[in-house]
């Protein structure tokens, strides 16, 4: 008999003897008068045993059968090793169609002596930042280096983006490291699938923002540093970028990594994926399943996504300013592109053109926004890598001519460059100087001076 049932016997005896009323007994036991009357009849007919609940000592009608418990224990220790309780419950319900709950799975796991996959920490006092009201207002992006394939494959970095208003997983992509190509792929997936957001919230990574202290003269005059390649893409698309000063500032995407490092790793292990290409091929199905479970309704049902432009592939690229060579070619690293003849068969030699290195590996040659030539992609393994700084107006160093090299230091002092501000002191032509004229030291040069008296004395003492 429980502590709740123990004081009932004395009150029921007093009620049967007429010492207390039904109302007083019901008030003392915190029950209704009708329930107290039912207890009196049961106690009068069956005694103390009638006060014990009829299902005491009998198995519950909702208890799990031994076969079901054995089946769950087998799956927990073989196929779904390392799954958390909620994730395992979902698999048992959806894949194996087993009628189990999370508490049942947790109880069986603890009976097997297996610890929880994630350690529960004491809650900390935090100040919550409210979500954005509409979908597309703010997108958080980040990269997470982790053993996503465990010991079955190489170490990878997962790049992703999540909507702040709805927790919708927008894009995921595996890369060997956190680089420009990976973020360009995430941008392309997000912009083509959902649209252009109002702002992005991410780290102060050097492929996204300038985090160096170097300022060129043009940047000092303009009062702002030139953006990176991806920063210029965001400026052209009208997307703002907010730099996070700490990981806690973008907590939504940081909590996303904690979830994916549990769920995604288990899903990749369940399918036996061992390569980066296979893992990237699985990500679209995982994103759809993740959004079906964890997406939240926004406060404002009207989204603010903007449609992506038609020339998104041309905008999402690295841009370089180049000068056309005399053979009408433009070079970018080991690759070069040939220009066709211009109007009237005229060449394009010497003008400055814009060369764009696209995400898929194509090269486009533009002049004043007009496409002049193109080169196909070198292959599916192409990686978009920045070749130089994105500053288009950076002054080029003046080439050194043979005449300038032939000048002696004395000639260069007496014959400055033609574009110098000071007038020349001599009328002699630089071109008249011989290509290898000998240089004679001045009479006052140290090489012409003799040995001093102290030096001669030291030399005599050393010889003597």
pLDDT in tens, 55-81: 666 777 777 888 888 999 999 989 998
Give yes or no: residues 212 and 331 share one domain.
no
303: pLDDT strictly greater than 70: yes
49: pLDDT strictly greater than 70: yes
Residue 191 lies in a domain: yes
CA-to-CA separations, 246 to 146, 160, 201, 249, 464, in angstroms, rounded: 19, 18, 11, 5, 76
234: pLDDT strictly greater than 70: yes
Give yes or no: residues 75 and 40 share one domain.
no
> Tell me: the pLDDT tens digits for 166-183?
999 999 999 999 999 999
* Whole-number Å distance between alpha carbons of 146 and 157: 6
Of 141-155, 211-225, 330-344, give the range with the top mean pLDDT. Answer: 141-155
Give yes or no: residues 37 and 94 share one domain.
no
* Whole-number Å distance between alpha carbons of 171 and 458: 81
227: pLDDT strictly greater than 70: yes
Residue 72 lies in a domain: yes
Give yes or no: residues 287 and 324 share one domain.
no
154: pLDDT strictly greater than 70: yes
**Residue 48: pLDDT band by 50, 70, 90 thresholds?**
confident
Residue 448 lies in a domain: no
In CATH, what number is assigned to the domain containing residue 236? 3.30.420.10
The pLDDT, as a whole number, for residue 421 is 42
Q: What is the DSSP letter of 31?
A: S
The pLDDT, as a whole number, for residue 211 is 84
Give yes or no: residues 226 and 200 share one domain.
yes
**Residue 13: pLDDT band by 50, 70, 90 thresholds?**
confident
Give yes or no: residues 244 and 380 share one domain.
no
The pLDDT, as a whole number, for residue 194 is 96
For residues 423 and 89, the model is more confident at 89
For residues 213 and 1, the model is more confident at 213
**Residue 422: pLDDT band by 50, 70, 90 thresholds?**
very low
Give yes or no: residues 163 and 281 share one domain.
yes
Query: For residue 93, what are the domain limits?
Result: 66-111
Q: Which of 230, 264, 294 is the last residue of a domain?
A: 294
The pLDDT, as a whole number, for residue 214 is 85
Mean pLDDT of 413-419: 43
Instruction: Report the percentage of the chain scoring pLDDT > 90.
Output: 46
Q: Please give the mean pLDDT across all residues of the chain.
A: 83
- Whether 60 and 49 have beta carbons less than 8 Å apart is answered as no
Residue 216 lies in a domain: yes
Q: Side-chain half-sphere of 404: how many Cα atoms within 13 Å? A: 7
**What is the domain count for the chain?**
4
Give yes or no: residues 327 and 369 share one domain.
yes
Q: How many residues does the chain have?
A: 464
Mean pLDDT of 186-205: 94
Residue 107 lies in a domain: yes
Give yes or no: residues 98 and 160 share one domain.
no
- Whether 176 and 156 have beta carbons less than 8 Å apart is answered as yes
> Tell me: the pLDDT tens digits for 50-61?
777 766 667 777
426: pLDDT strictly greater than 80: no
Helix extents (H) in 211-275:
217-222, 229-237, 251-271
412: pLDDT strictly greater than 90: no
**Residue 256: pLDDT band by 50, 70, 90 thresholds?**
very high
Contacts of 276 by beta carbon, 8 Å cutoff, 6+ apart: 153, 154, 156, 174, 175, 176
Residue 14 lies in a domain: yes
Closest CA to 356 of 384, 326, 382: 384
* Whole-number Å distance between alpha carbons of 112 and 101: 17
Residue 2 lies in a domain: no
Mean pLDDT of 143-150: 94
> Tell me: the pLDDT tens digits for 377-394?
998 899 999 887 665 445
Rounded to the nearest 10 degrees, the angle between the axes of helix 251-271 and helix 85-94 is 50
Mean pLDDT of 413-440: 45
Give yes or no: residues 39 and 175 share one domain.
no
The pLDDT, as a whole number, for residue 369 is 83
Give yes or no: residues 277 and 321 share one domain.
no
The pLDDT, as a whole number, for residue 437 is 56
Residue 455 lies in a domain: no
353: pLDDT strictly greater than 50: yes
Give yes or no: residues 160 and 235 share one domain.
yes
Mean pLDDT of 19-39: 88
């Amino acid at each position: 008999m429980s502590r709740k049932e123990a004081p009932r016997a004395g009150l029921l005896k007093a009620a049967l003897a007429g010492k207390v009323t039904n109302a007083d007994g019901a008030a003392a036991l915190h029950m209704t008068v009708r329930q107290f009357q039912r207890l009196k009849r049961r106690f009068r007919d069956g005694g103390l045993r009638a006060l014990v609940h009829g299902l005491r000592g009998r198995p519950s009608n909702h208890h799990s059968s031994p076969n079901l418990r054995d089946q769950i224990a087998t799956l927990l220790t073989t196929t779904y090793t390392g799954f958390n309780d909620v994730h395992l419950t979902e698999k048992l319900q959806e894949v194996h169609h087993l009628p189990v709950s999370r508490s049942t799975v947790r109880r069986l796991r603890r009976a097997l002596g297996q610890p929880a996959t994630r350690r529960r920490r004491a809650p900390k006092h935090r100040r919550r930042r409210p979500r954005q009201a509409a979908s597309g207002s703010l997108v958080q992006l980040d990269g997470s280096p982790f053993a996503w394939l465990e010991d079955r494959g190489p170490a990878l970095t997962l790049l992703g983006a999540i909507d702040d208003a709805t927790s919708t997983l927008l894009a995921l992509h595996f890369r060997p490291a956190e680089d420009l190509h990976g973020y360009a792929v995430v941008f392309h997936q997000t912009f083509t699938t959902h649209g252009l957001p109002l702002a992005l919230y991410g780290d102060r990574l050097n492929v996204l923002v300038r985090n160096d202290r170097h300022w060129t003269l043009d940047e000092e005059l303009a009062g702002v540093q030139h953006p990176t390649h991806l920063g210029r893409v965001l400026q052209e698309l009208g997307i703002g970028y907010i730099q996070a000063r700490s990981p806690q500032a973008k907590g939504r995407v940081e909590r996303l990594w904690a979830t994916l490092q549990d769920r995604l790793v288990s899903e990749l292990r369940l399918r036996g994926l061992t390569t980066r290409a296979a893992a990237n091929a699985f990500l679209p199905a995982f994103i759809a399943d993740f959004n079906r479970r964890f997406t939240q309704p926004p406060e404002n049902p009207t989204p603010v996504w903007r449609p992506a432009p038609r020339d998104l592939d041309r905008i999402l690229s690295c841009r370089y300013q180049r000068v056309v060579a005399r053979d009408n070619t433009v070079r970018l690293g080991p690759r070069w592109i040939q220009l066709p003849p211009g109007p009237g068969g005229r060449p394009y030699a010497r003008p400055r053109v814009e060369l764009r290195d696209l995400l898929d590996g194509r090269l486009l040659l533009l002049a004043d926004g007009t496409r002049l030539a193109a080169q196909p992609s070198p292959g599916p393994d192409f990686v978009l890598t920045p070749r130089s700084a994105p500053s288009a107006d950076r002054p080029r160093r003046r080439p050194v001519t043979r005449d300038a090299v032939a000048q002696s230091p004395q000639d260069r002092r007496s014959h400055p460059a033609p574009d110098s501000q000071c007038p020349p002191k001599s009328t002699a032509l630089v071109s008249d100087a011989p290509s290898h004229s000998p240089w004679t030291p001045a009479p006052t040069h140290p090489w012409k001076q003799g040995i001093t008296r102290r030096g001669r004395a030291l030399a005599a003492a050393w010889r003597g």
